[in-house]
Amino acid sequence: MNTEQILAEIREANLSYLMLAQTLIRSDRDQALFRLGISEDSAGMIDALTPTQVMKVASGNTLLCRMRCDDDLVWSLLTSHGQGAANESVSRLHASILMAGRHQEAA
């Protein structure tokens, strides 16, 4: 994959992210803040973007969203391959609880 292809993928991911974010924010703001891991101020700015502004912001070469799973414990819980379905569900729930706690700390 060359640089132009990577930049095109970043722009596409940005556009998808912003459209999803606006939909979530407008349908259930509290859930959006949690699921997107963003602040109330960021949600307000994203919500207020016009379609033209969304396209302009998305066209940048920097990825707008970021990985929220930035520690080994959360990654190990999310990637618990080979475990039974019950254990996998518990691991995902545990990971969600950890990320929710971090969202509260950031807010």
Indicate whether 3 pLDDT > 60: yes
Domain count, the chain: 2
Q: What is the CATH number of the domain that holds 47?
A: 1.10.4000.10
Write the pLDDT tens digit of every residue in 8-34. Answer: 999 999 999 999 999 999 999 999 998
More confident: 65 or 22: 22
Residue 8 structure tokens: 């095109």
Claim to verify: residue 59 and residue 79 sit in the same structural domain: no
Distance (Å, rounded) from C-alpha 61 to C-alpha 6?
9
Q: Is the pTM of this model over 0.85?
A: no
Indicate whether 50 pLDDT > 70: yes
Claim to verify: residue 60 and residue 96 sit in the same structural domain: no
The pLDDT score that the predictor gives to residue 103 is 52
Q: Which helix (H) or strand (E) holds 1?
A: none
The pLDDT score that the predictor gives to residue 34 is 86
- Can you give the residue range of the structural domain that contains 13? 1-66
The pLDDT score that the predictor gives to residue 20 is 97
Claim to verify: residue 15 and residue 54 sit in the same structural domain: yes
